[in-house]
Every structure is written in C-alpha cells, then in structure tokens.
Amino acid sequence: MPAPASGSLDIGALAREAGVSSRTVRYYGELGLLPARGRDRRGRRLYGPDALERLRFIQRLKRLGLTLEEIGELSRAFEEGQTPRMLARLEELLLGHMESVHTRIEELRRLHADLGSYLERVRARRTAASPHDPS
C-alpha cells in the first residue's frame, strides 16, 4: 500500500497530533470547518499540512468562547471573501466577544481582590487564635 501523499495526515494521526478524537475531526469536517484533501486507497480521510494548525485554531477559538457556528462564519468570510455585510457581521461578532472577555477580566480582578481580603482575614484570625503556635 502506498504511503499517504507527502505532507498528508490521516484522520487518526491528525487527531493524535491535535489532542482530539477522530470523531471531533470528522464532525468539524461535516460542519465545513476542516475539509479533508481526499482519501487514501483504504478510504481514510487525508488532511493537508495546514489542517493541524487549523484544528488547533478552532480549538483555541472554542476555548475563548466562540461557538462552532461563529467559527464557521469567520472561516467562510476569510475563505470566500468579505462583502461589506459580512465584514459588518464579523465586526459585531468580534466586538461582542471582546466585550465578553473584558467583562470576564473585570470579574476576575474583583475575585482576586475578594480572595485577597479573605486571605488577610484568615491570617489575622489565625494569628489572634494562636500567636505562638505556627500550625
């Protein structure tokens, strides 16, 4: 059996490299997010050298809170060209996520300050309860 075309990864190798399941790779392909370049003689999907980078990018966007539908919108816009309407939609989408990230950062800052206050109280009570006993 001939080896896959140079630079090609089968679905299993791509999934392993990216740390996801083959099912995830298949699903992203079904959604049009990660198209296969073809199949080998055994019928296994083959992916080009950019597929691993694209798969990692999809995973990163998901971790940042974008839905697969939103990721698809971004992908299609950059692959198919940008109409003014599409660019306006993308701008709205990205600004919304930026605002969401800003809100989360502010919440984390408040949480950090609250935890610091609680820590100070715990240390003060611990010191007051047993000033000579470090345990």
Number of DSSP helices (H) and strands (E) in the chain, helices first:
5, 3
**How far does Cα 54 stand from its chain's mean position?**
11
Say what the pTM is.
Answer: 0.62
**How far does Cα 67 stand from its chain's mean position?**
10
Q: How far is CA 59 from CA 20, 32, 37, 41, 118, in A?
A: 9, 15, 20, 29, 35
| pLDDT tens digits for range 72-111 | 888 777 776 677 877 787 788 889 889 988 999 999 999 9
Q: What is the CATH number of domain 1-81?
A: 1.10.1660.10
| pLDDT tens digits for range 29-69 | 999 899 888 888 888 889 988 899 999 989 988 988 889 99
The secondary structure of residue 130, as a DSSP letter, is: -
Q: Which residues pair with 10 in a beta bridge?
A: 46
**How far does Cα 118 stand from its chain's mean position?**
33
**β-pairing, 45-47 with 38-39?**
antiparallel
